[in-house]
Amino acid sequence: MGPWGVFFEGFLRNPVMVGSIVPSSRFTINRMLSRVDWDNCKLFVEYGPGVGTFCRPVLNRMRRDGMLLVIDTNPQFIEYLRRTIKDSRFVAVHGSAADVEDIVRAHGHEKADYVLSGLPFSTLPDGVGPAIAAATHRVIRKGGAFLVYQFTPKARSYMAKHFKRIDNGLEPLNVPPCFMWWGWKDEENEDAAAA
Ligand SMILES: C[S@@+](CC[C@H](N)C(=O)[O-])C[C@H]1O[C@@H](n2cnc3c(N)ncnc32)[C@H](O)[C@@H]1O
């Protein structure tokens, strides 16, 4: 089965967790990734990669000694990704984004430079979205960012509790059109919050 078939089957099996019928468009991918400083990105983490719509574009942009660590709760998607993406910089983990700190440490890193989320925040079980936003803020290094795309504004309210500066976007050429946010972990904001 091709990627669209695997994704659609994943949606039919678990519509609440997958949250979308088709993968993100190339317009969404290009806009989301356009804000990343690739020269200074050694660890890029992705939540909810699905069938890998973002994975290849990320790997195409990433430095040779970087790592793309993806985390998904759906074992079929993880198995598909491991089978189809053969790149030594790519690691696919079956698990929850809520455990990102342990997963990052288990792969030899203290911090992530960027975290990208395609999670369906509005349909996650109670408390999971806020917990993921908090853990993500802790795991990102100063100067890094949390990149989020979603069909509803829910995720932004979770991000705003931790990220003082959030840039907003909207991509109409996606099914359905989606919101985009880039939450920046600015050094000056973090130092002021810690003082
Ligand atoms: C809308 S799909 C994103 C698909 C893909 N990123 C794209 O752009 O086409 C959401 C994905 O989040 C995954 N997911 C849901 N809850 C999760 C969690 N707590 N941790 C990690 N992945 C999760 C689902 O299994 C699904 O693959």
Would the pTM count as exceeding 0.85? yes
**Is the CB of 80 inside a 6 Å radius of any atom of ligand 1?**
no
**Is the CB of 96 inside a 6 Å radius of any atom of ligand 1?**
yes
- Tell me: the pLDDT tens digits for 123-165? 899 999 999 999 999 999 999 999 999 988 889 999 999 999 9
pLDDT band at 170 (very low <50, low <70, confident <90, very high): very high
Q: List Cα–Cα distances, 152 to 11, 105, 148, 181, in angstroms.
A: 18, 31, 11, 12
E-assigned strand segments in 105-161 = 112-117, 140-150
What ranges in 14-148 are assigned the alpha helix state H? Answer: 15-18, 26-33, 55-61, 75-84, 100-106, 128-139
**Is the CB of 17 inside a 6 Å radius of any atom of ligand 1?**
yes
Q: Where are the domains of the chain?
A: 3-194
Lowest mean pLDDT among 61-65, 109-113, 142-146, 148-152: 148-152
- Measured from the Cβ of residue 98, the count of other Cβ atoms closer than 10 Å reads 20
For domain 3-194, say whether CATH 3.40.50.150 is its number.
Answer: yes
